Amino acid sequence: MTYAWDWLIFFKPSVTGEGLYGWMLVRGLGWTLLISLLSWLFALALGTVLGTMRTLTNRWLAWPALLYVHCFRNTPLLVQLFLWFFVVPELLPPAWGTAIKQLAPTTGQFLTVVLCLSLYTAAKVAELVRAGIEALPPGQRAAGAAMGLTQVDVYRYVLLPQAFRTIVPPLTSDFMNVFKNSAVALTIGLMELTGQSRQLSEFSAQSFEAFTAATLIYMAVTYGVVLVMRHVERRARIPGMLGTASG
Amino acid sequence: MIAINNVSKWFGDFRVLADCTTRIDKGEVVVVCGPSGSGKSTLIKTVNALEPFQQGEIIVDGVSVGGLGRGLPKLRARVGMVFQHFELFPHLTVTENLTLAQVRVLGRGKAEALAKGLRYLERVGLAVQKDKYPAQLSGGQQQRVAIARALAMDPIVMLFDEPTSALDPEMVGEVLDVMVGLANDGMTMMCVTHEMGFARKVSHRVIFMDEGRIVEDCGKDAFFGDIDARSPRAREFLSKILNH
């Protein structure tokens, strides 16, 4: 194999005149971080509500949550993205569809990816939240109720704070998955980190450097997630208890 | 104070409570005992509707418990309950455990709730532990905090569901001491327990249950003193637990 390695490629100007090649990666990373962090926030909020609903005895609340989880967890992320991007705008009232198509292309792509990734990840978060609540001793719910706390307060002050402590480790891997899954954005034309490294590879013909850089950046970002979550876990640990589960 | 009238409950086809009727007057201490599976825990939990029942009615301080719906938290706030496994909230400090429901349910101010909580913590002899987390306390200490937590709500009656069954033998005494103190102060109490010493010392009445039925419901002197007048099932039970 005759391949001319050039690790300085990142500091050379792009043939497209967009600035340095390295700058393309930085912009891509910016999109990746923005998409992932926003999606994670929405997914946490929505997943908490859905996971809670699944543990309620009220069928009219538990069932829709089950249906949601079933739909969003059991279909490929890519299919969901194509549905949101290509199909849903056609199903909306024409005026809305037109409004969406008139958005700046990047804005439309960005909003679609955040929507898609939030809803997809929320289904996974919901399952974790449900598992975390169901793993608690049943007496905790009874004790809260026996003191006269409303169901909402029992969840807010008694069950959810404990459930979240239990599920920090699996939540960490879902948080990391959001960053990795955000790469699907390139399929609808949003140039996030993976998209930019592919462009870099095509424009400069330095594929090895381009994808090595992308790999290292993803690893750095996900390692950052690990560090943050480790900190969260340590802060949330209950004095006197081994690990984080109650028991 | 509490009237239980013809209460029956089924789990599927299995009848766990069969036509139970009894009453507990203000200031009365009633011990509920019986073999395991006899329905005694289920019965006590119907009083604050932690267990629903299908037939009969329960009146607590003039309010019917069945079908209260949204009014239920209000009633429960007036009925203190102590559980077998303490059920302190492990992620909250002792102080937070004592004040949570006072603030959220009774709408007391933080300072008032804290003062009240600490007063009861003092009473159960654990004032120095106020900033600890439950897991940092022994079982007996946790149960005493749980009693203080219930008392801080100013309940009109206290329900105890096997409060000493999960404790090391050495710690049973400290919890019973607190309960005896409460009984002597005139608190209305319904206690599911196997502590016959406690029943003899402070209870007014003993209810004996078997297979979901109230088999005996009589004064403690009759229950322990006049054994020959008891039903065969109660005699058998008493002979097993009193001879050791």
Q: Please spell the DSSP secondary structure of A193-232, one letter per residue.
A: HHHHHHHHHHHHS-HHHHHHHHHHHHHHHHHHHHHHHHHH
pLDDT of residue A22: 92
A12/A146 Cα distance (integer angstroms) = 69
Q: What is the DSSP string of B136-174?
A: GS-HHHHHHHHHHHHHTT--SEEEEESTTTTS-HHHHHH
Q: How many domains does chain A have?
A: 1
Q: What integer pLDDT is reported at residue B10 of this predicted model?
A: 95
H/E stretch holding B63: strand B63-64
Q: Residues B123-134: what's their mean pLDDT?
A: 96
Task: Return the structure tokens found at B185.
Answer: 């102060």
pTM: 0.91
Within a domain: A5: no
Residues of B in contact with A145 (CB under 8 A): 50, 73, 76
pLDDT band at residue B244 under the 50/70/90 scheme:
low
The DSSP code sequence of A69-131 is HHHHHSS-HHHHHHIIIIIHHHHS-HHHHHHHHHS-HHHHHHHHHHHHHHHHHHHHHHHHHHH
pLDDT at A246 over 90: no
What is chain B's mean pLDDT, rounded? Answer: 94
B135 in contact with A at a CB cutoff of 8 Å? yes
pLDDT for A244 beyond 60: no
Residue A2: per-residue pLDDT: 84
Question: Smallest CA–CA separation between B158 and chain A, in Å?
Answer: 11
Q: Regarding beta strands B29-33 and B189-192, do their DSSP bridges make them parallel or antiparallel, or are they unpaired?
A: parallel
Query: Is A139 close to B83, i.e. CB distance below 8 A?
Result: yes
**A211 is a domain residue:** yes
**Res A97 pLDDT > 50:** yes
pLDDT of amino acid A85: 94
Q: Is A138 in the B-facing interface, judged by CB distances under 8 Å? A: no
Q: Do B113 and B85 meet the contact criterion of CB atoms below 8 Å apart? A: no
CB pairs under 8 A between A and B: 82
Give the three-class secondary structure for B217. Answer: strand
Structural domain contains residue A244: no
Residue at A114 is within a domain: yes
Given A145, A153, A162, which is nearest B90 (Cβ)?
A: A162
Q: Out of A6-20, A201-215, B82-96, B172-186, which region has the weakest mean confidence (pLDDT)?
A: A6-20
Does the beta carbon of A238 lie under 8 angstroms from any beta carbon of chain B? yes
pLDDT at residue number B70: 81
Amino acid at B91: H
Q: Does B91 touch chain A (CB under 8 A)?
A: yes
Residue of B83, B89, B105 with shortest CB distance to A148: B105
At A158, which CATH number? Answer: 1.10.3720.10
Q: How far apart are the first and last CA of chain A?
A: 60
* B41, B44, B104: best to mutate for the A interface, most A CBs within 10 A: B104
Predicted pLDDT at A132: 97
User: Nearest CA to CA, how far is A59 from chain B (Å)?
Assistant: 17
Please name the residue of chain B whose CA is at the shortest distance from the CA of residue A137.
B87
The residue range of the domain holding A192 is 11-236
Rounded average pLDDT over A170-186: 95
Closest CA relative to residue B94, chosen from B129, B144, B120: B129
Among B206, B232, B203, smallest CA distance to B217 is for B206
**Burial degree of A70 (CB within 10 A; 0-12, 13-18, 19+):** exposed
- Which tokens in the block code for residue A237? 């640990």
What DSSP character marks residue A155? Answer: I
Distance (Å, whole) CA B58 – CA B86: 25
More confident residue, B113 or A2: B113
ipTM comes to 0.93
**What is the torsional sign of CA A110, A115, A118, A120?**
negative
Q: With an 8 Å Cβ cutoff, is A165 touching chain B?
A: yes
Give dist(CA A133, CA A155) in Å, integer.
9
Q: Does B50 touch chain A (CB under 8 A)?
A: yes
Query: At residue B222, does pLDDT exceed 50?
Result: yes
Share of chain A above pLDDT 90, in %: 85
Q: How far apart are the first and last CA of chain B?
A: 35
Sign of CA dihedral A32, A37, A39, A44: positive
What pLDDT sits at residue A15?
86
Residue A242 lies in a domain: no
What b/e string do you get for A94-130 counting C-beta neighbours within 10 Å, with b at 16 or more? eeeeeebeeeeeeebbbebbbbbbbbbbbbbbbbbbb
Query: A135 at the B interface (CB within 8 A)?
Result: no
Domain-located, residue A246: no
Task: Find, among A88, A150, A4, A73, the residue nearest to B107 by Cα.
Answer: A150
Nearest to B47 by CA among B35, B32, B37: B32
Q: What is the pLDDT of residue A100?
A: 84
CB contact under 8 A, A241 and B133: yes
Tell me how far apart the alpha carbons of residues B89 and B135 are, in angstroms, rounded to a whole number: 10
Residues of A in contact with B91 (CB under 8 A): 161-162, 165, 238, 246
Residue B45 has pLDDT above 50, yes or no: yes
Nearest CA in chain A to B96: A157
Answer whether residue A228 is part of any domain: yes
On whether residue A243 sits in a domain, the answer given is no
Q: What gap in Å lies between CA B15 and CA B227, rounded to an integer?
A: 28
The pLDDT of residue A245 is: 44
* Cβ-Cβ contacts under 8 Å for A179 (sequence gap 6 or more): A32, A36, A218, A221, A222, A225
